[in-house]
Structure 1
Amino acid sequence: MSSMRERMNRLRGESTEKDKQSEATPAVSEDYNEVSLGEEEEQLSPVWETFDVKLLTNETGSFLLRKIVYPINHRHGHHAIEELIEAAPGLSSFHPLRETSGEQILYLDLETTGLGVGAGNIPFMVGIGYMSKGQFVIEQTLIRHPAEERAMLIYLAEKLQHFTFLATYNGKTFDWPLVQNRFIMHGLSRGMWEPRHLDFLHPSRSLWKNTLVSCKLSHVEEERLGIHREDDVPGSLAPQLYFQFLSDGNPAPLEGVFRHNEIDMLSLAALSIRFGHLLNGNIEQYIPLPVETEEMVRTGLWLERMGKTELPHLLFELAMKKDQPNPSTLIMLAERDKKAGNWVRAVLLWQKAIIHSSTHFGAAAHEASIELAMYYEHKLKDYESALGHANLAFEHALNQSMLIRRDTKKRAELEALRNRITRLRRKAEKQLK
């Protein structure tokens, strides 16, 4: 089997297969020219033209570009792109001292040959999206072999300079460090762009960690943004399809990768609109959705962390009006009161969590029992009451450890509770003397 380097250095072949074109209007970059290749150079396969891919060149070399222009009223799921104009100022909460506008945001999403940010992982496709002149533009560059990467990076570097904010999904950890590494490897790090990050993975986890099956972008967009992909190529298949292209030279399967990346860019824009609306205080746009109480509380807690302390009260009130509040929701609210020093309300919420867990003493009731044991021991010096709650928590932990014998964390927790109970018994006996 040939190595990755050998496969990536093979020249491309041709194919005559045609497929559907993008629904948006294609356009060629204003900064780079489409190339007319000489006889000694490989002709660009006509298959690329079926999904609007052009060959561009600069002083360093050539690369492929697909540029799609969407009208600003284009709807992607629940949101229209034009909502970004109103929603973008709310995103300044990510960087409180910097005002945000829609045209300052660059959306970025990579398709890579592997995982990690090391030298062996190559971004073969770089997707960027941005608002310009009343339109939403998506540009996707693709390299057919490593020699084209430098030309592509020079093109990207020039684009970056026009923006202040970088919007991604896990891009602060993956996409941007990988791009930085490629710039450094090609000697292009001087004067490297330093963006202000808008990484939407972290707020997505804050809101939907326990209410969605997964916080992958594909799940978030379907469950919360009203976006339903049809015949989508999973991102996990993108490297395989790219290597297939390197092996047989047929570009046709890559159309699905382009389309997948394109939808990712639109979904990032829609997600930024959703978070921008929330941070602007448009809670009413969020409440009508059928959301669980835990999601309401998590949203409120996230808004507080983002400095919007006046916004969460409506969400907390709605969550508490439920006839059967979720015990885990009560625990989150109690933790908030504990940090604020509102001990009376925190104790009531912990007690309520135990009451609402009467049919099933789960993790929330267990945590509430431990918190109450600590409260009665350290705040009230009521060792008998503390001992009762500690015993309750120990009984639950013991049952769990019997079910999961090899769970070292459970065993450590059980041992800590044993020590707590021993200490409380000693204090209670001493108090009675």
Structure 2
Amino acid sequence: MPWDFDYQENQETERLKQRLLKKYKGKKLEDIIEGKEFKTEKGICYHIENQEKISLNTINPDSARKKILSNLKLIYGIGDVTELNLKKEGYRTIEDLMNHPRFGSEVKRFLEVLNKCDTCQIVDWIAHRFSKSHSLVLYASGLHNKEDFIFLDIETMGLSEMPIILFGVAQIFGDHMSINQYFVRDVKEEQAALIGFLSHINKDSIFITFNGLSFDIPYVRKRLAYYGMKVDFEKPHLDLLYFSMRASWKERLSNCRLITLEKHLFDIERKDDVPSDLVPEFYDTYMRTQNIGPLIPIIEHNKQDLITLANIFSKLHKEWE
């Protein structure tokens, strides 16, 4: 019965919390999780940095461009049948249609967007013709360098207007992933953590999240507005939840939760994990007791989410290559 399962799960989570409180009683966060204070003019927070080896499958810019140009249906007025007929006539790519009497002007508009390599506009164009989770959107990310990818995951004190307590940001450099976590030891440190997160973003950044279209990005926007921080936050965004729902493995899964994908695709079984919906309770226990025990699984949960995000991103490229 579902109720029995929930009850059992809650009991196990409560036992985990009590074990952590006992194990870490009297300990300091910096003694258990190595990090340093991140200082800003708006205050401080706790900065944790880790490196993980990774082999990330991506598509190179030339291949990405070829994939995009090979789909004639990106041009308004071209559907499956028309595309088939055009290709029979020798129009193999969108560029071949530049002088076409009917589609030429629309093709020139599209090529202007593509040649600017403005991924936001390219993704918008693809989404207008197909959807934001179409494989061509994933290919469009290949127009970026790996260093531009911003894998993002946040942990909060609840829904809506509550503070963000942990920003997890991962970036790819060579054969490793640099994971930076900005942790809020007290809610007064949230603005400093926001500044820490923003320090990783530049004009070429592209966000990669899991359910970030609905949760992470809107939530960060609200917290920026709360502090009156005006930031250019209009970046290309790949929400891997929706890509995963289109992938072939979806048929073999009971749901598309991140932890379900992680177990099915990578055979990872988390130990002593705290579910995202119980993060506020664990953080509240820390605030009331000043015992760091309940924080440990929150930080580890966030780190593992980022690693799994990158692995799913890589897996999707193999799925659709």
Q: Under TM normalisation by the shorter chain, which class is it?
A: 0.5 to 0.7
Separation in 2 of the partners of 1:210 and 1:165? 29
Counterparts of residues 273-422 of structure 1 (less than 5 Å): 273-280=314-321
1:52 alignment partner AA: E
2:137 alignment partner AA: F
After TM superposition, give the deviation of residue 143 of structure 1 in Å: 1.2
Residue equivalent to 2:55: 82
Is 1:150 the counterpart of 2:191? The answer is: yes
Identity of aligned residues (%): 26
**Counterpart among 66, 73, 95 of residue 48 in structure 2:** 66
Counterparts of residues 180-329 of structure 1 (less than 5 Å): 180-189=221-230, 191-207=231-247, 208-280=249-321
Answer whether contact 1:112 1:122 (CA < 8 A) is retained.
Answer: yes
The C-alpha deviation readout for 1:49-90, integer Å capped at 9, x for no partner, is: 2121322211211111111112xxx3xxxxxx2233568976
Separation in 2 of the partners of 1:18 and 1:63? 21
After TM superposition, give the deviation of residue 126 of structure 1 in Å: 0.9
Residue equivalent to 1:56: 38
- Give the alignment's TM-score, normalised by structure 1: 0.48
Q: Which runs of 5+ in 1 are unaligned?
A: 1-14, 20-43, 75-80, 281-433
After TM superposition, give the deviation of residue 229 of structure 1 in Å: 1.9
**Counterpart among 28, 34, 45 of residue 46 in structure 1:** 28
The SS at the match of 2:262 is helix
TM-aligned CA distance change 1:244 to 1:105, over 3 Å: same
Separation in 2 of the partners of 1:87 and 1:229? 33
The SS at the match of 1:171 is coil
TM-aligned CA distance change 1:184 to 1:229, over 3 Å: same
After TM superposition, give the deviation of residue 142 of structure 1 in Å: 1.4
The SS at the match of 2:244 is helix
Q: Which runs of 5+ in 2 are unaligned?
A: 1-20, 65-133
Number of residue pairs matched by the alignment:
229
TM-aligned CA distance change 1:260 to 1:87, over 3 Å: farther
1:110 alignment partner AA: I
Answer whether contact 1:16 1:47 (CA < 8 A) is retained.
Answer: no
After TM superposition, give the deviation of residue 146 of structure 1 in Å: 2.7
Answer whether contact 1:87 1:277 (CA < 8 A) is retained.
Answer: no
* CA RMSD, Structure 1 to Structure 2 (Å): 2.8
Separation in 1 of the partners of 2:204 and 2:178? 14
TM-aligned CA distance change 1:142 to 1:162, over 3 Å: farther
Residue equivalent to 1:178: 219
The C-alpha deviation readout for 1:333-369, integer Å capped at 9, x for no partner, is: xxxxxxxxxxxxxxxxxxxxxxxxxxxxxxxxxxxxx
The C-alpha deviation readout for 1:9-57, integer Å capped at 9, x for no partner, is: xxxxxx99569xxxxxxxxxxxxxxxxxxxxxxxx96333212132221
Separation in 2 of the partners of 1:203 and 1:148? 34
Separation in 1 of the partners of 2:300 and 2:140? 36
Separation in 2 of the partners of 1:109 and 1:130? 12
Q: Greater relative contact order: 1 or 2 (C-alpha under 8 angstroms, separation 6 or more)?
A: 2
2:317 alignment partner AA: G
2:282 alignment partner AA: L
Answer whether contact 1:95 1:196 (CA < 8 A) is retained.
Answer: no
